[in-house]
């Protein structure tokens, strides 16, 4: 096992993230977003060009803080005794090019992936979508795993977009967030709206919300909803 030379603060950050990722992968399962080993959460390490991510092909039951791996922004392993997730290159590219992103989640959750299989964006027909994503959920390009194509597709689609979710064509969804927990929340809410809009459209047309209403709802939710800092 490789160990990297970093400051004590960064080391503590890595330790905390390793533990949080165990909880967040459990959250993916509890929300039925993943089967077998098909999905992962990663997080940016504060104060370093590093990320922590799930090891490849390890079952969720066997995930511990120790099995998580640390990689640099080229996707190369810098600490850990397992191979990093196949999706590390994609996540690394996002962290490198979107500096406000602190967490990335990839799943093959059923309904979101079904929209991916049709290469079809999810239209904003529910207030919850306006609140959470600020509009439609966009489609990203089909890209093969193995280089930075997937990462580039994610960044090109989400850069400057309100949505924290992208539907990669023929593949599955990726979500981003200010931290890993926020990206997991986006993955959960994405599957929820993907399913609800799917079900709605099975029996008829779903009118899109007005843009002015979407703007109003998005602005309010981002600025008013939830507890103020120090409140919880």
Which residues make up the interface to a copy of itself (CB under 8 A)?
Answer: 31, 35-36, 38, 55-58, 62, 81-83, 86, 108, 110-111, 113-120, 125-128, 144-146, 170-172, 185, 188-189, 192, 195-207, 209, 213, 216-217, 220, 224-228, 231-232
Q: In the chain, what's the furthest Cα-to-Cα distance? A: 59
Q: Is 131 a catalytic site residue?
A: yes
Element (H, E) at 104: strand 103-107
In angstroms, the CA 11 to CA 8 distance is: 5
Q: Is 95 a catalytic site residue?
A: no
Rg value, the chain, Cα: 18
| φ and ψ at residue 77, rounded to 5 degrees | -65, 130
Nearest residue to 91 via CA among 15, 166, 14, 201 = 166
The catalytic residue among 60, 131, 179, 221 is: 131
Q: Count CB neighbours of 170 within 10 A.
A: 13
Q: C-beta of 201: minimal distance to a copy of itself in Å?
A: 6
DSSP tag of 36: T
Task: Output 160 or 205, the one with its CB closest to a copy of itself.
Answer: 205
Q: C-beta of 111: minimal distance to a copy of itself in Å?
A: 6
Task: Output 160 or 230, the one with its CB closest to a copy of itself.
Answer: 230
DSSP tag of 62: G
Q: C-beta of 70: minimal distance to a copy of itself in Å?
A: 16
Task: Output 5 or 232, the one with its CB closest to a copy of itself.
Answer: 232
Residue 229 tokens read as 């800092």
Task: Output 9 or 76, the one with its CB closest to a copy of itself.
Answer: 76
Give catalytic residues, as residue numbers: 131, 225
């Amino acid at each position: 096992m490789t160990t990297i030379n970093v400051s004590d603060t960064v080391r503590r950050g890595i330790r905390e993230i390793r533990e949080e990722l165990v909880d967040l992968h459990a959250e993916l399962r509890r929300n039925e977003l993943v089967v077998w080993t098909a999905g992962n959460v990663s997080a940016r390490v504060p104060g370093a060009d590093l990320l922590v991510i799930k090891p490849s092909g390890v079952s969720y039951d066997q995930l511990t803080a120790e099995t998580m791996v640390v990689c640099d922004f080229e996707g190369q392993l810098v600490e850990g005794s397992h191979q990093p997730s196949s999706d590390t290159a994609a996540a690394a590219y996002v962290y490198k090019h979107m500096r406000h992103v602190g967490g990335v989640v990839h799943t093959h959750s059923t309904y979101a992936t079904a929209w991916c299989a049709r290469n079809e964006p999810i239209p904003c027909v529910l207030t919850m979508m306006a609140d959470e994503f600020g509009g439609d959920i966009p489609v990203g390009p089909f890209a093969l795993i193995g280089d930075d194509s997937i990462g580039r597709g994610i960044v090109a689609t989400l850069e400057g977009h309100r949505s924290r979710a992208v539907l990669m064509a023929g593949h599955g969804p990726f979500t981003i967030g200010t931290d890993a927990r926020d990206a997991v929340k986006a993955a959960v809410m994405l599957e929820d709206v993907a399913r609800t809009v799917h079900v709605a459209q099975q029996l008829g047309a779903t009118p899109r919300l007005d843009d002015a209403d979407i703007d109003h709802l998005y602005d309010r939710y981002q600025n008013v909803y939830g507890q103020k800092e120090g409140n919880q």
